[in-house]
Amino acid sequence: MKITGKSKVFGIIGWPVSHSLSPVFHNAAFDYLGLDCCYVPLPVEVGRLDVAIKAISALNIAGLNVTVPHKEGVIPYLSELSKEAMMIGAVNTIKVSGERLLGYNTDGIGFITSLHEAGQSVSGRSILILGAGGAARAVVFAAANGSAEKIIIANRTAGKAESLKEQVQKHFPSVKVEATGMGYDDLREVSNKVDMIINTTSLGLKQGDPSPVPREFLHRDLFVCDLIYNPPETELVRYAKDLCRGYMNGLGMLLHQGAASFKLWTDIKPPVHIMRQALQDALQQRPSSGRM
Ligand SMILES: NC(=O)c1ccc[n+]([C@@H]2O[C@H](COP(=O)([O-])OP(=O)(O)OC[C@H]3O[C@@H](n4cnc5c(N)ncnc54)[C@H](OP(=O)(O)O)[C@@H]3O)[C@@H](O)[C@H]2O)c1
Task: State the Cα–Cα distance between residues 221 and 247, nearest whole angstrom.
Answer: 11
Same domain, yes or no, for 158 and 43?
Answer: no
Task: State the Cα–Cα distance between residues 151 and 209, nearest whole angstrom.
Answer: 25
Q: Give the global pTM.
A: 0.96
CB 149 within 8 A of CB 176: yes
CATH of residue 224's domain is: 3.40.50.720
Task: State the Cα–Cα distance between residues 151 and 106, nearest whole angstrom.
Answer: 20
Asked whether 156 lines ligand 1 (CB < 6 A), one says: yes
Same domain, yes or no, for 30 and 91?
Answer: yes
> pLDDT value at position 290?
58
> pLDDT value at position 292?
56
Same domain, yes or no, for 22 and 146?
Answer: no
Same domain, yes or no, for 180 and 236?
Answer: yes
Alpha carbon 177 to its chain's center? 21
Same domain, yes or no, for 138 and 217?
Answer: yes
Looking at ligand 1, which atom is closest to the CA of residue 136?
16
Residue of 113, 101, 106 lying closest to 91 (CA atoms): 106
Q: Is residue 165 part of a domain?
A: yes
Q: Is residue 79 part of a domain?
A: yes
Same domain, yes or no, for 144 and 243?
Answer: yes
Q: Is residue 194 part of a domain?
A: yes
Catalytic amino acids?
Answer: 71
CATH of residue 38's domain is: 3.40.50.10860
Q: Is residue 85 part of a domain?
A: yes
> pLDDT value at position 2?
85
> pLDDT value at position 243?
98
Same domain, yes or no, for 230 and 124?
Answer: yes
Q: Is residue 277 part of a domain?
A: yes
Q: Is residue 1 part of a domain?
A: no
Ordered mean pLDDT values, 10 residues apiece, the chain (292 residues): 92 95 98 98 97 95 97 97 97 96 98 98 98 96 98 98 97 97 97 97 96 98 97 97 98 98 98 98 79 58
> pLDDT value at position 286?
77
**Among protein residues, the one whose CA lies closest to atom 7 of ligand 1:** 135
Rounded to the nearest angstrom, the distance between the alpha carbon of 71 and the centre of ligand 1 is: 14
Number of domains observed in the structure of the chain: 2
Q: Is residue 67 part of a domain?
A: yes
Same domain, yes or no, for 54 and 166?
Answer: no
Looking at ligand 1, which atom is closest to the CA of residue 292?
47
CB 105 within 8 A of CB 132: no
Same domain, yes or no, for 210 and 245?
Answer: yes
Residue 45, domain extent: 8-105+252-285
> pLDDT value at position 1?
76
Asked whether 246 lines ligand 1 (CB < 6 A), one says: no
Same domain, yes or no, for 15 and 94?
Answer: yes
Asked whether 228 lines ligand 1 (CB < 6 A), one says: yes
Same domain, yes or no, for 81 and 136?
Answer: no
From 202, 207, 227, 279, give the residue whose CB has the most ligand 1 atoms within 8 Å, as the site to mutate.
Answer: 202
Pairing assessment for the beta strands 93-97 and 100-104 based on DSSP bridges? antiparallel
Q: Is residue 3 part of a domain?
A: no
> pLDDT value at position 41?
98
Task: State the Cα–Cα distance between residues 230 and 292, nearest whole angstrom.
Answer: 9
Same domain, yes or no, for 165 and 208?
Answer: yes
